[in-house]
Homo-oligomer: A and B are copies of this chain.
Amino acid sequence: MKKLPRISESEWLVMRVLWSNGALTANEVVKELTGQTKWKPKTVKTLITRLMQKGAVRFKKEGRKYRYYAAVSEVECVGAQRRSFVRRVYGGTMKPMLTAFLEDAELSAEDISELKRILEQKGKE
């Protein structure tokens, strides 16, 4: 239930790397981001530092170098972003937004049936 820090656009890329890979050294983060961005290593380091200041990332020493890991929950951060997005763009009303999302999405047949299952589940509550 801790307060979630505000994570900027660029910082999100770093967080996603840390969430999916666990504790990484700075260089490993840089390597993961190669291809996704054209950032210099120093830029990545800056982002990590800022995320630490915000409390979103912590590190443990491993010998003389650090391993960084996410200190906030991915599920919570993603949920917060989702809600903030809906509020900002749709003024909080979910339906039109979901319609747009669904129409826009590229979905496999399995995806579609799973989503339908979720909807049916909701219908029963």
The interface of chain A, by Cβ under 8 A from chain B, is 9, 12-13, 16, 78-79, 81-83, 85, 88-91, 94-95, 97-107, 109, 111-116, 118-120, 122-123
Q: Is the Cβ of A119 less than 8 Å from the Cβ of B118? A: no
Q: Is the Cβ of B88 less than 8 Å from the Cβ of A103? A: no
Kindly report which residue of chain B lies nearest to residue A96, judged by CB atoms: B78
Q: Is the Cβ of B112 less than 8 Å from the Cβ of A119? A: yes
Kindly report which residue of chain B lies nearest to residue A121, judged by CB atoms: B103
Q: Chain A's interface: helix, strand, loop or mixed, by majority?
A: helix
> Within the complex, what minimum Cβ distance (angstroms) separates A112 from chain B?
5
Other A-B pairs, 10, CB within 8 Å; known A78-B100, A94-B107: A16-B91, A81-B89, A85-B85, A95-B115, A98-B105, A99-B114, A99-B118, A102-B118, A103-B118, A113-B123
Taken together as a complex, chains A and B put the C-alpha atoms of A83 and B98 apart, in Å, by: 13
> Within the complex, what minimum Cβ distance (angstroms) separates A20 from chain B?
9
Q: Is the Cβ of A9 less than 8 Å from the Cβ of B88? A: yes
